[in-house]
């Protein structure tokens, strides 16, 4: 492509400043060192499929999205997602300068007729505000982007505990008409927590179509700090794969805040010693597994 198409972006400046001036939206507070997993809520504008969503958000494994949405593992990639149906997108999060940023953010290639506002509000369904795309990409003139230009899309997130609880932070795009109370109820948290972590005084400061930080109850693995799944947090009602996909860990917060893990048969050859996985349920498999690991050197020795 020799010629550079300049796309003039006619953002209604007065309108956008009205929308965004009063908000520091999307600066989720984040002061915990290291990485963590977080979720963002994506409600596609148009009918789409899981595979398009994986592409859009730069996610490698279908099972990560299936787990985050508690969909059966047999769900195919071409599974249809209806417009406005929210899919939880699992992301890796890192705190930087007091705020959370997605660690491996999606990269979006600008298409004909795109504007930054459209990319933020429609393509990414408001989970990012366009000012954040401007900042992240150091765009000098926000009315001027090029077709084919690649934009990093910074997704909001946090790794902080909330009132001493290990949680999974969820970037929820506020629907018009919802209240702090209704959001708290929907996601199993409370109004005061939402106010505190988002620095929101009351419903009048809740902006539709912008993300708000919602801490989801989460399970973590037990005790052993040297275990492979140490630090793993899984939101209530979701599952993840861990330990080279050898373990499937599920969180059902109502029955236990400890992660429930079981062995999968996905990649047995590279599976770690199960005794290094703290939150396993059942010992039959670990017994078999440990035995076979111990038998291999014995066989090698015998047949030398």
Ligand X SMILES: *[C@@H]1O[C@H](CO)[C@@H](O)[C@H](O)[C@H]1NC(C)=O
Which residue ranges make up the site for ligand X (CB under 6 A)?
Answer: 45-46, 76, 78, 80, 97, 109, 112-113, 122-123, 148-150, 188, 217, 236-237, 253-254
3-state secondary structure of 109: strand
Q: Considering beta carbons, is residue 149 or 258 the nearer one to ligand X?
A: 149
Place of tokens 């890796």: 92
Residues 6 or more apart whose CB falls under 8 angstroms from that of 207 comprise 19, 23, 25, 174
User: Would you state the structure tokens that stand for residue 27, as one six-digit string?
Assistant: 């600066």
Q: Is the dihedral of CA 139, 175, 55, 61 positive or negative?
A: positive
Q: Considering beta carbons, is residue 125 or 264 the nearer one to ligand X?
A: 125
Minimum gap (Å) between residue 143 Cβ and ligand X = 16
Q: Note whether 93 and 37 are within 8 A (CB).
A: yes
User: Distance between terminal CA atoms of the chain?
Assistant: 62
Q: Considering beta carbons, is residue 97 or 176 the nearer one to ligand X?
A: 97
Minimum gap (Å) between residue 253 Cβ and ligand X = 5
Q: Is the dihedral of CA 88, 94, 98, 101 positive or negative?
A: negative
User: What secondary structure letter does DSSP report for 213?
Assistant: E
Minimum gap (Å) between residue 243 Cβ and ligand X = 24
3-state secondary structure of 287: helix
Minimum gap (Å) between residue 43 Cβ and ligand X = 11
Q: Considering beta carbons, is residue 237 or 272 the nearer one to ligand X?
A: 237
Q: Which residues of 109-118 are buried (b: 16+ CB within 10 A; e: fewer)?
A: ebeeebbbbb
Q: Note whether 162 and 141 are within 8 A (CB).
A: no
Minimum gap (Å) between residue 187 Cβ and ligand X = 7
Residues 6 or more apart whose CB falls under 8 angstroms from that of 141 comprise none
Minimum gap (Å) between residue 123 Cβ and ligand X = 5
User: Would you state the structure tokens that stand for residue 174, as one six-digit string?
Assistant: 């506020």
Q: Considering beta carbons, is residue 47 or 293 the nearer one to ligand X?
A: 47
Q: Considering beta carbons, is residue 13 or 107 the nearer one to ligand X?
A: 107
Q: CB nearest ligand X: which residue? A: 188
Provide the pairing of β-strand 156-157 with 99-102. Answer: antiparallel
Minimum gap (Å) between residue 174 Cβ and ligand X = 19
Q: Considering beta carbons, is residue 112 or 138 the nearer one to ligand X?
A: 112
């Amino acid at each position: 492509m020799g010629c550079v198409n300049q796309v003039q972006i006619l953002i209604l400046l007065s309108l956008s400043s009205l929308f965004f001036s009063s908000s520091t939206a999307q600066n989720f507070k984040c002061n915990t060192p290291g990485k963590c997993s977080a979720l963002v809520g994506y409600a596609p504008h148009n009918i789409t499929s899981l595979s398009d969503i994986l592409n859009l958000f730069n996610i490698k494994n279908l099972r990560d999205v299936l787990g985050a949405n508690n969909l059966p593992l047999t769900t195919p990639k071409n599974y249809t997602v209806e417009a406005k149906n929210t899919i939880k997108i699992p992301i890796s999060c890192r705190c930087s300068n007091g705020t959370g940023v997605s660690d491996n953010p999606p990269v979006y290639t600008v298409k004909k007729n795109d504007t930054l506002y459209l990319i933020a509000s429609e393509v990414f369904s408001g989970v990012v505000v366009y000012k954040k795309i401007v900042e992240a990409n150091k765009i000098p003139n926000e009315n001027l982007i090029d077709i084919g230009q690649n934009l990093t899309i910074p997704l909001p997130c946090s790794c902080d505990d909330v009132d001493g609880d290990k949680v999974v932070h969820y970037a929820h795009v506020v629907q018009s008409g919802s209240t702090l109370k209704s959001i708290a109820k929907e996601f199993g948290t409370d109004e005061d927590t939402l106010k505190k972590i988002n620095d929101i005084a009351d419903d009048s400061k809740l902006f539709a179509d912008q993300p708000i930080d919602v801490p989801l109850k989460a399970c973590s693995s037990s005790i052993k700090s040297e275990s492979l799944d140490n630090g793993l947090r899984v939101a209530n009602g979701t599952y993840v794969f861990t330990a080279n996909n050898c373990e499937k860990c599920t969180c059902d917060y109502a029955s236990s805040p400890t992660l429930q893990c079981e062995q999968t048969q996905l990649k047995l050859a590279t599976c770690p010693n199960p005794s290094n996985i703290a939150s396993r349920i059942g010992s039959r498999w670990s017994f078999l597994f440990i035995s076979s690991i111990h038998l291999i050197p014995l066989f090698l020795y015998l047949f030398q």
